[in-house]
Structure 1
Amino acid sequence: MLRVALGTAIRSLGSNRKFPVLFRKMASFCQEERGPANTLQYRIYYKNDKGQFISPLHDIPWQVSKGPNVYNMVVEVPRWTNSKMEIATKEPLNPIKQDVKKGKLRFVANCFPHKGYIWNYGAIPQTWENPKHIDPNTNQGGDNDPIDVCEIGSRICKRGEVIQVKVVGVLAMIDEGETDWKVIAIDVNDENADKINSIADVEKIKPGYLDATRSWFKIYKIPDGKPANVFAFDGEYKDRDFAEKVIQETHDFWVHSHDGSVECDFAMQNVSCSDSKFKTSCEEAAKIVDGAPGKGPAADITDEKAEKWFYV
């Protein structure tokens, strides 16, 4: 198994799988922006607590603690925004960038009554939905990305932020013939973190949120001329134990991509995975970032899709 230094210890979380509201982070990560925002050149690179450039996909640990499980989440898209930011899996050091379609920056349609994403949206690092693995539950391969997370807490996170979450369930979306798991999780520091420990708790504390989430994923590509998405299990949310088995499986795929037993087309450079065939030096990582353009002032957003409402 790959080993990553995990840093500062956390406060004991107890044995009843409930989580305290206050939570001390295991490690600190900071971001460095390069290129003007709202342009094709914009990137967010990451540094660890030693000031070394790292890959958020490969160098940030997937788990913070076990029993109960706490996971790191890289926030790609803050709630209420719709710039389609994502971990750049094919670029060295895997910075966050805005997705591009036909040479233009991609914005997800605002489908009435929603404005942008309705959760903080991101991914669990050190995971990979293997496209060559046919999932027996969905009969489809993975979507070739780290596993997605919808964080349902009260706070609007910052783009690129790394937060710690507990998982409460998962939705199995089938997106254009690919399995695209949507993990439902909550920030362990959220005011409701000690109350939400299951899918049933979500419906109790935040009624309607799960129905809205399923509807959002069903219709959000329709304004782009694509069909409605469908779901395995007739759109039923699966529980925490099921979700954590899926996450474990995607982590195992990521591990095998680094030991060379499974082929993966990600950019694999990392500075801390001791058993990885693709480990590089901190000096080489710094050279990658040095080659990126300077930050510069943000450009104006000219795509009307960013603000327009679509009625589906």
Structure 2
Amino acid sequence: MECSPKEEWNPFKQDIKKGNLRFFKYGDLPFNYGFVPQTWEDPNQSSRHSDVGDLKGDNDPLDVVEISGTKIPRGQIVPIKVLSVLGLIDEGEADWKIIGIRADHPQAAQINSIKDADRVFQTDLQNVIVDWFQKYKVPDGKPENRFTHNAQFQGSEAAIDVIEDAHRQWYDLILGAVKTENSLQSLTRKRLVEQGIVRNDRMPQRPAVNYPVYENWNSKSKSQTFGNKKYHGEEEK
């Protein structure tokens, strides 16, 4: 089950490959699997985060691997604490996997990386996640998948960087700045059209965007300029 970007309103539905309903055949998913809203991996852009050749995006939202061990109902929106990112190369495309833990988990404050999660939970999540993504298409007769960075998990800063790039690519997409076969029909798009906020070219400058973040799970205000790593935050008043 996944978001269907080519259909109006992007519904959740069972994926279809070559006319057949798609099922995972490499055992049950050993984690919660979802995506980050308002992100898109542009199939026309090379990923600047890859260390393996010229990888373009997979035309989907960013995937999320949530590792709390508590099953999350389909369609539920759950804030997560971002821990790491794994660079999957799926049939020649960049398919980043954001690793996180639900923000309301009682041990979230003790976990700042996938290594911390393995220590706190006494698990082997790093190898479990890599193994599943490497082999889940093998039962369909396809070769094992490869990874960027020698299948090593990158830290939370790299993960946030990937998310911010994918959000910018979604922003260009929803404003009509890129050609696509995806359906842009959405409430967000409707409001932007009503306001006359549409573009037919990519944004020459990346404006500052204010959005809420959490530091030690206390709400803060954060200013961000896309395209660099200079941030500043201050207490909300």
Please give the TM-score of this superposition, normalised by the length of structure 2. Answer: 0.76
How far is the alpha carbon of 1:198 from its aligned partner? 1.8
Counterpart amino acid of residue 37 in structure 2: P
TM-aligned CA deviation for residue 199 of structure 1: 2.7
The one of 58, 68, 86 equivalent to 1:153 is 68
1:167 correspondence with 2:82: yes
Q: Report matched runs for 1:278-293 at 5 Å.
A: none
CA distance in 2, matches of 1:240, 1:254: 21
Q: What is the aligned-residue identity percentage?
A: 39
Shift of 1:270: 1.6
CA distance in 2, matches of 1:191, 1:158: 19
Q: Are 1:117 and 2:21 counterparts?
A: no
Inter-partner Cα distance in structure 1 for 2:190 and 2:5: 20
Structure 1 equivalent of residue 200 of structure 2? none
CA distance in 2, matches of 1:158, 1:250: 25
How far is the alpha carbon of 1:194 from its aligned partner?
A: 1.7
Q: Does 1:246 align with 2:162?
A: yes
Equivalent position of 2:186 in the other structure: 270
**Residue 186 (structure 1) aligns with:** 101
Q: Gaps (5+ residues) in structure 1?
A: 1-84, 280-312
Structure 1 position 90 matched with structure 2 position 2: no
Deviations 1:184-225 (A, max 9, x none): 011111232122122331231233111110011001101100
> Which of structures 1 and 2 has the larger relative contact order (alpha carbons within 8 angstroms, sep 6+)?
1
Counterparts of residues 3-18 of structure 1 (less than 5 Å): none
| SS of residue in 1 equivalent to 2:108 | coil
Q: Following the alignment from structure 1 to structure 2, what is the Cα–Cα distance between the partners of residues 184 and 240?
A: 9
| Match runs of 1:180-259 below 5 Å | 180-206=95-121, 207-259=123-175
What residue identity is the alignment partner of 1:131?
P
User: For the Cα contact (< 8 Å) 1:130–1:141, is it kept in 2?
Assistant: yes
- In structure 1, how many angstroms separate the alpha carbons of the residues matched to 2:169 and 2:191? 15
C-alpha deviation, 1:278, in angstroms: 8.4
Deviation of 1:162 after TM superposition, in Å, equals 1.3
* Residue aligning to 1:62: none
Q: Deviation string for 1:228-264 (max 9, x for gaps)?
A: 0000101010000000000000000000112222223
Q: Return the TM-score normalized by structure 1.
A: 0.58
Q: Residue 139 of structure 2 aligns to which amino acid in structure 1?
A: P
* Structure with the larger helix share: 2
In structure 2, the residue matched to 1:105 is 21
What is the number of equivalent residue pairs in this alignment? 191
Name the CA distance, whole Å, in 1 between partners of 2:140 and 2:194.
38
* 1:123-134 mapped onto 2 (5 Å cutoff): 123-134=35-46
Contact 2:115 2:126 in 1 (8 A): no
- Specify the code of the residue in structure 1 equivalent to 2:177: S
Checking the alignment, whether the CA contact within 8 Å between 1:168 and 1:199 is kept in structure 2 is: yes
Q: Aligned equivalents of 2:17 and 2:187: distance in 1?
A: 31
Flag structure 2 segments of 5+ consecutive residues without an equivalent. 196-237
Q: Distance in 1 between matches of 2:115 and 2:43?
A: 31
Letter in 2 for 1:217: F
Q: Matched residue of 2:70: which SS?
A: coil
- 1:275 offset after TM fit, Å? 6.2
Q: Secondary structure at the match of 2:161?
A: helix
Whether the aligned pair in 2 keeps the contact of 1:154 and 1:190 (CA below 8 Å) is no
Counterpart Cα distance in 1 of 2:86 and 2:115: 14
**Amino acid of the residue matched to residue 226 of structure 1?**
K
Computed over aligned residues only, the root mean square deviation of the Cα atoms, in angstroms, reads: 1.7
Q: Report the Cα offset of residue 116 of structure 1.
A: 1.2
